[in-house]
Amino acid sequence: MALGLKGGLVVAGFGMQIILARSLGPEGLGAYATFLALATVLSITGGFGMPMAAVRFVPVYLAAGQDAALRGFLSAARRLTLLTSIPVALGFALVFLLLPPLRDQAHAAVAAAAIIPVFGLGTLAAGLLQALARPMRADLLLNLFRTAMIAAFVLLARWWGFATAEIALWLTALAALLAALLTARAAGHALPVAPAGPRTEGERHHWIAAGMTFVLAMLSVSLIERLDTIMISALLGTEAAGIYSVASRLALTVMLATSSVLSLLAPALARQAAAGDRAGLQRSAALAAGLTLVLSLGVAGVLAAASPWLLPAFGRDFAAAGAPFAILLAGQVAVAACGAAGGLLALSGRNRALIIVALAAVILDMVLCLVLVPAFGSEGAAAATVTTLLAQAVALSIVVRRSLGVDPTLVGALLLAWRTIGRGIRKEGT
């Protein structure tokens, strides 16, 4: 059922991208993708890391019966998300409204700013559903519903003849608001603790410390996913960014395999890390690595085979995205073989290492984009992204082995399987 839902997300995402591409054209899609990328990155900053903090702390509080601490965490998480995301959104809009060179893009910037707090609250509600072992409901409400609403709204705007990048951003904000409200309602109903009652925020400093770590880690991932599109828009123009954004968004479909597996196993990983269950953590990490690679190979294979027909479906100009698309697909599969090292570090509270690797990856990506995009265009942006993602994944897996004694990669999964088979053979021999 989970795979069916992920398949639905993929199909809905393809449909939305095709509708956007055909409604806005390469240049309009480039402007939309650039501002949406900026809003997504800033929403992570505004979210204060509370969605991932929920995945870490909520299962522990539920298992220990600490209802007051759970209520305190939920109250503080909502408050922190609003108190940070709203100023971030206002600051982003004011930059474009007050600086003359950027004022012609102010309409799009204001629309993108409206997305920031809505994304933050929706992601927080989805994180709570994941912590309550309901990741499919989170995907259904926050991702699938939002994607379908964006596609429907843009189709209506195209029908009425006013589909522009700015209008599409406002419609995205509306769809995100509806999805966030539904997700928050589902999270409230799924919570086994009454919302009213005693609450304590005695561990607030732990939540904030973990949240700041998660912000940096998630921000680095989001930046690396979107920096290529932003850099192409700045260096080569919005039309080139629009064409490249299709390849980037399609290739990121492979990452759904990683996110789906991690969302399913995150509560168990959090409990095992908190209990110091190294053997259980290795088994869960091995399962995550194996499932992630199999799913990634399957998705990448289907996309590669369908690319001669898939890319032209977005419009005649988008066939030029074939080369960067192939580079990005190959890179995503290689990254999947490294397992869910970043998630393991986040859930086990290895904050310092996660921050160092995350910041180093962002710096590496910026340098590579500045060097490769002017020289090689879209292919250079794809190569920069793949190199950065792979370097980050390898570095994180090394940190996990040294700090947790667990190998999160495909190699660790194969070694565990080999040892398990060997023990079975020895038992049969005796």
Q: Give tens-digit pLDDT for 140-158.
A: 888 889 999 999 999 999 9
Cα 164 vs. chain centroid, distance in angstroms? Answer: 26
Q: What percent of the chain has pLDDT over 70?
A: 92
Name the band, by pLDDT with cuts 50, 70 and 90, for residue 51. Answer: confident
Name the band, by pLDDT with cuts 50, 70 and 90, for residue 388. Answer: very high
Q: How far apart are CA 85 and CA 116, in angstroms?
A: 6
Mean pLDDT for 120-126 is 91
Could you give the angle at which helices 50-64 and 106-131 cross, rounded to 10 degrees? Answer: 20
Predicted model pTM = 0.79
Other CB atoms within a 10 A radius of the CB of residue 42 amount to 24
| pLDDT at position 430 over 60 | no
Mean pLDDT for 19-34 is 93
Amino acid at 207: W
- DSSP annotation of 405 reads S
pLDDT at 328: 94
Say if CB 180 and CB 121 are below 8 A apart: yes
Provide the terminal-to-terminal Cα distance of the chain, rounded to the nearest Å. 41
Q: Which residue has the tokens 């869960």?
A: 284
What does the block give as tokens for 61?
């509080």
Mean pLDDT for 124-153 is 87
**Is the Cα dihedral 199, 204, 208, 210 positive or negative?**
negative
- For residues 5 and 141, the model is more confident at 141
- For residues 30 and 278, the model is more confident at 30
pLDDT at 257: 62
pLDDT at 282: 80
Question: Over the stretch 270-304, which tens digit does the pLDDT of each residue have?
Answer: 777 777 777 777 887 778 888 888 888 888 898 89
Mean per-residue pLDDT of the chain: 85
Q: How far apart are CA 326 and CA 324, in angstroms?
A: 5
Say if CB 197 and CB 67 are below 8 A apart: yes
DSSP string, 218-258: HHHHHHHHHHHHHHHHHHH-HHHHHHHHHHHHHHGGGHHHH
| Spans of all domains in the chain | 1-202, 237-430
Question: Over the stretch 331-372, which tens digit does the pLDDT of each residue have?
Answer: 998 988 888 787 777 777 676 787 788 889 989 999 999 999
